[in-house]
Amino acid sequence: MPAMANVTVKAANGTTDVVYSALNPSSGDKVPALWRAEAAGLSSNLRPTLDLVSQWNGPRTARRITGTYMYPYVFTNASTFEKSVRARIPIIYSATVPVEVPDTEIAEAISQFNNLLVATLVKDCIKLGFAPT
């Protein structure tokens, strides 16, 4: 089982590190682990978050992990300089991993999926909100 830790990723510019601080580890099934980008925003509601929840599927033949990423669009009022969240970009994903699949096959599936998400075509589709035509 992985140990809770900070997660560092690159910002859209490809050079700036964004650290998602480990806020709360999971205490077991159905209890989310929580990370937050503490340097982004003056208060917690203005910061991006990630949570991961794991549990058995119904017949206990697979482990399911579900993640929810929330990225706030922070708006600054020009007259009061007050910051508020105008909208949030939610990204939700789920993986169900059968327990009878060998670790090497699981690693390959997860690696290929993660690499598909960072492929230019797939990233562009997600950013634009349209599938390719």
- Give residue 61's domain range: 7-100
- Residues 120 and 68 both lie in one domain: no
- The DSSP symbol for 78 reads T
Whole-angstrom distance, CA of residue 72 vs CA of residue 87: 6
- Do 124 and 64 fall within a single domain? no
Q: Examine residue 2 and state whether it is found in any structural domain, yes or no.
A: no
Q: According to DSSP H, which parts of the chain are helical? A: 103-117, 120-128
Mean of the per-residue pLDDT values for the chain? 96
Question: Is the model's pTM score more than 0.85?
Answer: yes
Domain count, the chain: 2
Model confidence at 48: pLDDT above 90: yes
Q: pLDDT tens across 88-103, in order?
A: 999 999 999 999 999 9
Is 1 among the domain residues?
no
Residue 96, strand partner residues: 64
Residue 65, domain CATH? 3.30.380.10
Summarised one tens digit per residue, pLDDT across range 50-78 is 999 999 999 999 999 999 999 999 999 99
